[in-house]
A and B are shown apart, each in its own frame.
Chain A
């Protein structure tokens, strides 16, 4: 009716390769964003001086580290979780910079809207919480505390162990990956929808009167997506911390 041509999903998330085209190491926009998401925090942390009185860039870096310390580690694990600070800080910053390219002009693609990236991050978290649990309680103790809820009647034991196994070792990484992936893909599609709507309204002369509303919505959603990018990075790191906490403390 409005000649609204929505691009196909391949058009939204697949990008041509700049280098090594067609090979395993094909380098496209997603790879570029991932490299930037790795380099920006590293450069920030190298630029920050280690003075007693912070100035300039050191303020930013210190507030990021303090945010991860107070809001993620102290909230989810406690003081003994401080040794996981490097891992959780890297995860938080990598996910955040991967997400924030969703609203940066000329990129406008969240790297985490491709399933491979959240999946690998979830596997890293999965290996970490299993490793931390085995280190803290031993293999048998970790299996017992994660598979057998306290106070289970003996008759229900096989069923409970099956359910707990699925929820702990399969659904946790799956949920972690799907949460990040679906949030980012949904945000990307939402922005594309309003972008397409703005372009279509611009070309149709009588309907151009509603263009400001559509454009205002696009601007508002861009702000909203910046919040989502931060919130999803926060939640990803927080859940990683919660899973580590659940496996190092026997209940």
Chain B
């Protein structure tokens, strides 16, 4: 408990060295990486699964490859949007 209190007081002391603008910039910079990293997990799994299934479909039925490919790109576009919104959040946190 005392360790926790001393850590908290250290954090407060550390924070008092910054002006509010600097503290905001630091918090933004450190959370920007987390924002993009977390946003990339789901779409990463999703696109991997999607392309894997599409390749399987094309291997099983090569004559439908064109249609599968178009649908695959559509699915990628929708899945990727989440990661891209995460990237926009990263830009906003880091630079705005």
Chain A residues with a Cβ under 8 A of chain B: 8-9, 71, 75-76, 175, 178-179, 181-183, 185-186, 231, 234-235, 238-239, 242
B17 to chain A, nearest CB (A): 22
* Chain B residues, Cβ within 8 Å of A75: 66-67, 70
User: Does B38 touch A at the CB level, under 8 Å?
Assistant: no
Chain B positions 66-96 with a Cβ under 8 Å from a chain A Cβ: 66-67, 70, 73-74, 76-78, 80-81, 84-85, 87-88, 91, 94-95
Instruction: Determine if A182 and B95 form an interchain contact, defined as CB atoms under 8 angstroms apart.
Output: no
- Given A238-B74, A239-B74, CB of A9 within 8 Å of CB of B91: yes
Q: In this complex, what residue of B is CB-closest to A232?
A: B77
Binding site secondary structure of chain A:
helix
Q: Is the CB of B88 within 8 A of A182?
A: yes
Structural contact, B73 and A231, CB atoms closer than 8 A: yes
How far is A74 from B93 in the complex, measured between Cα atoms in Å?
41
Which chain A residues border B78 with CB–CB below 8 Å? 175
Given contacts A182-B87, A186-B87, 8 further A-B contacts (CB under 8 A): A9-B94, A9-B95, A75-B70, A182-B88, A185-B87, A234-B73, A238-B77, A239-B74
Q: Which residue of A76, A182, A231 contacts B84 across the interface (Cβ within 8 Å)?
A: A182
Do residues A179 and B88 form an inter-chain contact, with CB atoms below 8 A? Answer: no
User: Do B81 and A178 have beta carbons less than 8 Å apart?
Assistant: yes
How near does chain A come to B40, taking the closest CB pair, in angstroms?
11
Q: How large is the interface on B (under 10, 10 to 19, 20 to 34, 35 or more residues)?
A: 10 to 19
Pick the contact of A179: B70, B84, B91, B94 (CB < 8 A): B84
Q: How far, in Å, is B68 (CB) from chain A's closest CB?
A: 11
Find B80's partner among A8, A76, A179 (CB 8 Å cutoff): A179
Contact A185 B95 (CB under 8 A): no
- Are B91 and A185 interface neighbours, CB within 8 A? yes
Could you say which residues of chain B place their CB within 8 Å of the CB of A8?
Answer: 95
A-B contact pairs, 27 of them (CB 8 A): A9-B91, A9-B95, A71-B66, A71-B70, A75-B70, A76-B70, A175-B78, A175-B81, A178-B81, A178-B85, A179-B81, A179-B84, A182-B85, A182-B87, A182-B88, A185-B91, A231-B73, A234-B73, A235-B73, A235-B74, A235-B76, A235-B77, A238-B70, A238-B73, A238-B74, A239-B77, A242-B74
Compute how far the CA of A101 lies from the CA of B37 in the bound complex, rounded to whole angstroms. Answer: 29
Q: Which residues of A lie under 8 Å from residue B95 when comparing CB positions?
A: 8-9
Cβ B73 vs Cβ A178 within 8 A: no
Say yes or no: A178-B84 contact (C-beta < 8 A), given A9-B95, A75-B67, A185-B91: yes
Q: Which 5 A/B pairs are nearest by Cβ-Cβ distance? A: A182-B84, A9-B95, A75-B70, A235-B77, A182-B87
The residue of chain A having its C-beta at the shortest distance from the C-beta of B80 within the complex is A179
Q: Which residues B23-66 have CB closer than 8 A to chain A?
A: 66
Residues from chain A with Cβ under 8 Å of B66 in the complex: 71, 75
- Report the separation of the CA atoms of residues A204 and B77 in the bound assembly, to the nearest whole angstrom: 41
- Shortest beta-carbon distance, A81 to chain B, in Å? 14
Return B44 CB to nearest CB of chain A, in Å: 15
Complex Cα spacing A182 to B81, Å = 9
Residue of chain B at shortest CB distance from A185:
B91
**Chain B residues with CB below 8 A from A179, complex form:** 77, 80-81, 84
Q: Which residue of A lies closest to B88 (CB)?
A: A182
